[in-house]
Amino acid sequence: MFRAHRAWLTAFLCLAVVALALAPEKIRAQAGVSKEYQVKAAFLFHFAQFVEWPAETFTNADAPFRIGVLGGNPFGGALDEIVKGETIGNRKIAVQYSRRAADLKNCQIVFVCESEKARLPRILKELDGPSTLIVGECDGFAASGGVLNFFLEDGKVHFEINPDAAAREKLEISSQLFRLGKIVKTAPSN
């Protein structure tokens, strides 16, 4: 199943951050794209390598692996540049941007921008079900039902994981990734 060792995973994620530091000038020089979003873009790409989706997730053998961004695009072109020419499980990667969750239902990963915080309950309901790794960046996102949530601590990007949400989406997350993230549970409904 997952044969990655923790040391390898840690080194792999560290290399992602180092790669950003050495990234082509095209990424580093993009106006308005902070280092935080360059790191988040790299994490999104690398998360896909440590998650298994059910076989029925893809409509056919040639279907691309899709990463969706819901809301305002904080990445500029950084996410597109990071995934350019890359594959996940022999599938080309396609990035989609939209302000409507319904437009991203065919994505394997959906990043929900902080700009969408007010609509979060509705968004999580709309994206629920199609084996989607739903990633956010606002307080309480994972506890509200998102699978992964970015947060800043001491000026560094970290992430939390909701194993209940991952199970609900029928996603198998590597135990190595669980060791690197902070585990949170879904908050009880009122």
CA separation for the pair 153, 182 (Å, rounded) = 12
Q: Tell me the CA distances in angstroms from 104 to 22, 70, 117, 169, one per residue in order.
A: 31, 8, 17, 15
pTM metric for this prediction: 0.84
The residues near 32 (Cβ < 8 Å, ≥ 6 apart) are: 76
Residue 4: per-residue pLDDT:
43
Residue 28: per-residue pLDDT:
45
Each residue's pLDDT, cut to its tens digit, for the chain (190 residues) gives 344 444 444 544 544 444 444 444 434 444 556 899 999 999 999 999 999 999 889 988 899 999 999 999 999 999 999 999 999 989 999 999 999 999 999 999 999 999 999 999 999 999 987 699 999 999 999 999 999 999 999 999 999 999 999 999 999 999 999 999 999 998 876 5
Contact 17, 56 (CB under 8 A): no
Number of H helices, E strands in the chain: 7, 10
Residue 165: per-residue pLDDT:
94
Fold observed for domain 6-183? Rossmann fold (3.40.50)
Residue 115: per-residue pLDDT:
94
Delimit the domains of the chain by residue range: 6-183
Residue 64: per-residue pLDDT:
96
